[in-house]
Structure 1
């Protein structure tokens, strides 16, 4: 009843109260107004939601944003701290929760060392909470082990952007420039379902005559726009781009002036591609040579163009190099640093961009500084008022932290805004690792699959109650202000970190009373870094709606388009990198004859912790499904709507079947939003990209077995 009472408290019993807020889900960060009308005939508040005009979504909302208020008002929301006693959760006070956490963390570190404790964050945390979580790890606990679920979202694109350009920002130019581009490549991104409020940019581009190329093993709402749909075999995107590069070079479609003045490494790339066999590329990728050629010529001949990548090409053991090859294609044709030319890594999480800039990643300090760079350490230590020698070194990636838990090296874990038991690959090992911990603390809105394993669960505020900044996929910093008071005993993420730090003897370094105070320190900590927020303030964000970083001074308007004159490397040049053709890390065989790939659906977000608590969203996609081609279904005697068991070398899931001709015959697709026996990550391959430590989510060899009898029938 508390959620309904909360609405009554905020609105009064008569009239309509308008709550100005921002969608908590994807990286577009659409602005919206939640309108609460009390005194309805049903005896409960009537709620409707409208989009608010803004530069990113232009006032549009998708079905998730329209129904986000349902999870914020859910009766399942955590109301007060919980402790597990004899296998059951009981209510405790905040004082008891903090005292228990402080005592047990301290004991673990005294016995096993500082690095026996880890922190695990999330890409949906505000910039302020992400910043403070990194500071809490390095200052209050002095552990090297901190990483976050954004490792599974943006790490391949981020590392590729850093190596190629010297900077990682989601889009190098504005969303508004999409509609005027002559050619668009959408690789491994299904914007129609994952960022649907952006689709009008692409439909307007199409109306303006743009040639659209979609690279995806499935037919989707996004591929329906395509002039060419390259239905690539999962795990072979890098080879496909090599084929396109070869054709562009052979046809003389390179921008020699741009290459000569603004890049280095071109000759090595050219030599690498000289002997490339296009027929071999076609066979490896499962895409006919004529289609590859048509796409390459369209992009090469266009005077303007943009390339977008997402998890479909990034979540591989060679995701870093695959993105680098797409950037090779962009640089070869000189399509960057000018209007309607650029690259976009389509961020998945609400603050996937900002979440990786200010200290949640294992190797980073605020402002995209590096924790093992002495100058960076000295600067951030001076802001935090500590000796640089007190800062720990870099830790390991998110999945590697799970392995360290399983091995007993990490014995205590604090999870904030994430659900690692569902989002990590090889989920069976992750569950075993979490169960072996001496202390697991989870801060969340709901009792997630991970929270159910916790010793202490802490209730946090939702998007409607928590003020903070978010950085959308353009690199535009936005302010989301609290629209109502925190319900029951829930606290803000940053608030509980400050109170825990005080109990650990670091209260003076965490003496914040508002999110804005934290942001003021973040501004200073990021000053002079790659992700420089120094010129951004809450007052500016209120006046200007949003400000692009880098923004080095209060007088700076923000950088709307990167690389107009130089790249971010010291010499100002972008860097080419030859990329090998390679087969997938895990190939099919007699025992596991099909390729499993995974992804998202329109109705749900990440591991579904929030969207599965929304009745309107859950009703649209109530259970997980496996997409399979009709011929493949007949081969394995699987009927549409029947239950099927999927096995990989790591585990088993059981899901419902959806027979569709929109997928390759050698591939099955299962979404990622469900836990338990429907958790596709029980199957996925934990092999890691050597550059960015991204797991190989998108290619796993599997076998299918129909579940017969009454249980398996729809």
Structure 2
């Protein structure tokens, strides 16, 4: 075990938080290295291997699964896969282990008259599901039931779920937990480019002369992407824009420690400097964009004194940032949740996009305005879940789009909703207002992850019928359910994921699901049968068959992948990026969008979007003098720890108990002692955490990892007006000693 732990902790830049004798310390591993294959224990003696992609984050690493008698007994990173090139992060190494957890859901569970969940047959579960959902619709109307989907199941399952719910069961309202991570990027791309289209390929990490990370900590959140940065041989400038000295910022040549949520002002100020100095790609602006003149007039107001005041940076930091973009031939701009999870995230993302457009840093190696996705299949959710848009990136409100999908699916177009669903927070508010009475939650943990957790749980408690479909029966949401449906997990079913760089990768069934657990695909088919709409899905016989269906749904769209043959072909190719239309016979492994300067808006041009920045939605005051920042804690934790918490190895790599980072100066003012338990409180809730003194956070700020159950008792339910994504990252809190 100690050798295995040595392998797991060898990733360059990996920050390990260790808890020894009740004390918490952070260790940053400085030496370059990376995960290799390690030693497969001799006792395993695999008889065969097969390849598939990892099911944790959006990186989409290739893993080699070692088999005996057709069942997985171990894994190692796939050396030839173009994503990870023989590397895996701790989560990937432990991907099989978490399938063996003792709290796996192995049989349907129904809440009985005494309030306890008890095992029932699948037939009883289906009768209860259909009977109670239909009863609610009959009493309160067809739109009184809704579903909450996920970015963590295969694309084929997402498409079947969204089609079943909306075309078969008559649901109008359904959203996914992708709303919590990627909605902002999706909307920003749609508005600016005309389609939700991340333009880059991972090779750009290695080919940039300057990499700008805005609200992004890939060293922790996407370790293999960070390893690709470490392979860059162009001596790049690494610029990190983040209030906190993150692990990524520790490696930066420029760390711009801005005031929370002042990114927009900084980016507009840098745009002004570029314009005033003529550091532009004028030919690209003229040929490939519109709205630049209005944008240039707008940002003229963001002079140095204003930007210095807004951001807290020094003038020379701002000027050096602008000069670096100009001087380096290839600049790439990367962002994740620090931008997306904001009350003004869409316009901030577009401020990043604007910098790439005005300098011509797009469509070429080492460039791009590049959103890094969170979940393993958030891109699949964005395009094929039937939640925020119709299958294939289409629009529910357009008659021609509805007819195209109806023709592919061989259904009456009248069955397709003509209006968009409520967003996630509107569905939750609909429960509070008594408009949503039944909710079906698939592979997500709303009671833990949704913002302002105490109110979220109160909302769920008000439902007449809550169904949770999950791998584990112990999640915070499953414990509130009236009915739990046991689902198979990654490695126990088939399908495809689409990663951050638009690459389709295959997952395979290499384990049997425990007990009576079924693949989500088969649960959806079972529900369709009991609901009485099974004939509508007679073509949807298997995930492979659905792959062919959604391939047709993509035809003619920017995400067209009709040229992808089948799972075996995808496997042999090492995954393939969209677009891959039928006329593309031999797709290159690494492809960028917009190489020809043509975008997806009607006139073929990208659009400059901008808007006046807004102050913090909840500023500090005398009662709540600290700004709370949240984010990923370690490379070994994932979301609500539903899976990572099941691995003994991963649990050794992060503290089991929550901690809060606080600046030593603030700790002295408050009279705190290192590692003591303190209370952090907002206007919505309170939590206990162990105090960790570190200059990584600035005075007046705190940081708590998002993974702990108490974190979202503090966060404030405010939302971006365009993407409707929650603003998890900054709210006002206070600190008191003890419990």
Output the TM-score relative to the length of structure 1: 0.93
Q: Which residue of 1 aligns with 2:531?
A: 504
Give yes or no for contact 2:152–2:376 (8 Å, CA) kept in 1. yes
Counterpart-to-counterpart distance in 2, 1:563 and 1:281: 33
| 1:609 and 2:642 matched | yes
Written as runs of structure 1 = structure 2, the 5 A alignment for 1:620-659 is 620-621=653-654, 622-659=656-693
SS class of match (2:266): helix
| 1:265 and 2:294 matched | no
Written as runs of structure 1 = structure 2, the 5 A alignment for 1:17-416 is 18=49, 20-35=51-66, 47=74, 49-85=76-112, 86-170=114-198, 172-205=199-232, 207-361=233-387, 363-392=388-417, 393-416=419-442
Give yes or no for contact 1:325–1:579 (8 Å, CA) kept in 2. no
In structure 1, which of residues 552, 565, 589 is the aligned counterpart of residue 621 of structure 2?
Answer: 589
Measured after TM superposition, the shift of residue 15 of structure 1 is 5.8
Counterpart-to-counterpart distance in 2, 1:240 and 1:481: 45
| 1:543 and 2:572 matched | yes
Counterpart-to-counterpart distance in 2, 1:46 and 1:468: 21
Counterpart-to-counterpart distance in 1, 2:558 and 2:48: 41
C-alpha spacing 1:36/1:502, structure 2 compared with 1 (3 Å) = closer
SS class of match (2:231): helix
Q: Which residue of 2 aligns with 1:693?
A: 724
Counterpart-to-counterpart distance in 2, 1:343 and 1:495: 39
SS class of match (1:368): coil
C-alpha spacing 1:638/1:360, structure 2 compared with 1 (3 Å) = farther
Give yes or no for contact 1:548–1:560 (8 Å, CA) kept in 2. no
SS class of match (2:102): coil
In structure 2, which of residues 597, 611, 617 is the aligned counterpart of residue 565 of structure 1?
Answer: 597
Measured after TM superposition, the shift of residue 484 of structure 1 is 2.5
Written as runs of structure 1 = structure 2, the 5 A alignment for 1:512-523 is 512-523=540-551
Structure 1: runs of 5 or more not aligned: 1-10, 39-44, 709-714
- CA deviation profile, 1:648-676 (whole Å, cap 9, x unmatched): 1222222222111111112111111122x
Q: Which residue of 1 aligns with 2:503?
A: 476
Give yes or no for contact 1:403–1:430 (8 Å, CA) kept in 2. no
Give yes or no for contact 1:238–1:579 (8 Å, CA) kept in 2. no
SS class of match (1:654): strand
In structure 1, which of residues 661, 667, 680 is the aligned counterpart of residue 695 of structure 2?
Answer: 661
- CA deviation profile, 1:213-264 (whole Å, cap 9, x unmatched): 1111111221122110001111111111112111111222111111111111
Measured after TM superposition, the shift of residue 579 of structure 1 is 3.0
Q: Which residue of 2 aligns with 1:5?
A: none
Counterpart-to-counterpart distance in 2, 1:309 and 1:478: 23
In structure 1, which of residues 534, 537, 553 is the aligned counterpart of residue 582 of structure 2?
Answer: 553
Give yes or no for contact 1:26–1:349 (8 Å, CA) kept in 2. yes
SS class of match (2:717): strand
Measured after TM superposition, the shift of residue 49 of structure 1 is 3.8
C-alpha spacing 1:540/1:272, structure 2 compared with 1 (3 Å) = same
C-alpha spacing 1:35/1:657, structure 2 compared with 1 (3 Å) = farther
Measured after TM superposition, the shift of residue 169 of structure 1 is 2.6
Q: CA RMSD in A?
A: 2.0
Structure 2: runs of 5 or more not aligned: 1-41
C-alpha spacing 1:21/1:359, structure 2 compared with 1 (3 Å) = closer
Counterpart-to-counterpart distance in 1, 2:402 and 2:433: 30
Counterpart-to-counterpart distance in 2, 1:53 and 1:444: 33
- CA deviation profile, 1:380-416 (whole Å, cap 9, x unmatched): 1222333323222211111221111122211111111
Counterpart-to-counterpart distance in 2, 1:51 and 1:383: 36
Counterpart-to-counterpart distance in 2, 1:31 and 1:482: 15
Counterpart-to-counterpart distance in 2, 1:596 and 1:417: 28
- CA deviation profile, 1:32-78 (whole Å, cap 9, x unmatched): 1344789xxxxxx9856444431011120011111122211112211
- CA deviation profile, 1:434-486 (whole Å, cap 9, x unmatched): 11111111111112110010111111111111111000110011111211233
Measured after TM superposition, the shift of residue 488 of structure 1 is 1.8
Task: Pick which of 111-120 and 620-629 moved more.
Answer: 620-629
Counterpart-to-counterpart distance in 1, 2:390 and 2:651: 38
Counterpart-to-counterpart distance in 2, 1:649 and 1:93: 44
- CA deviation profile, 1:360-387 (whole Å, cap 9, x unmatched): 42x3111110111111111112223333
SS class of match (1:337): coil
- CA deviation profile, 1:72-110 (whole Å, cap 9, x unmatched): 111221111111112222111111111110100110001
Give yes or no for contact 2:52–2:506 (8 Å, CA) kept in 1. no
C-alpha spacing 1:414/1:12, structure 2 compared with 1 (3 Å) = farther
Counterpart-to-counterpart distance in 1, 2:43 and 2:424: 45
Measured after TM superposition, the shift of residue 177 of structure 1 is 2.6
Give yes or no for contact 1:183–1:211 (8 Å, CA) kept in 2. yes
SS class of match (2:660): strand
SS class of match (1:366): coil
SS class of match (2:374): coil
Counterpart-to-counterpart distance in 2, 1:516 and 1:202: 35
Q: Which residue of 1 aligns with 2:522?
A: 495
Counterpart-to-counterpart distance in 2, 1:88 and 1:122: 27
Measured after TM superposition, the shift of residue 359 of structure 1 is 2.8
Give yes or no for contact 2:256–2:317 (8 Å, CA) kept in 1. yes
Counterpart-to-counterpart distance in 1, 2:659 and 2:276: 44
Counterpart-to-counterpart distance in 1, 2:553 and 2:170: 18
Give yes or no for contact 1:599–1:672 (8 Å, CA) kept in 2. yes
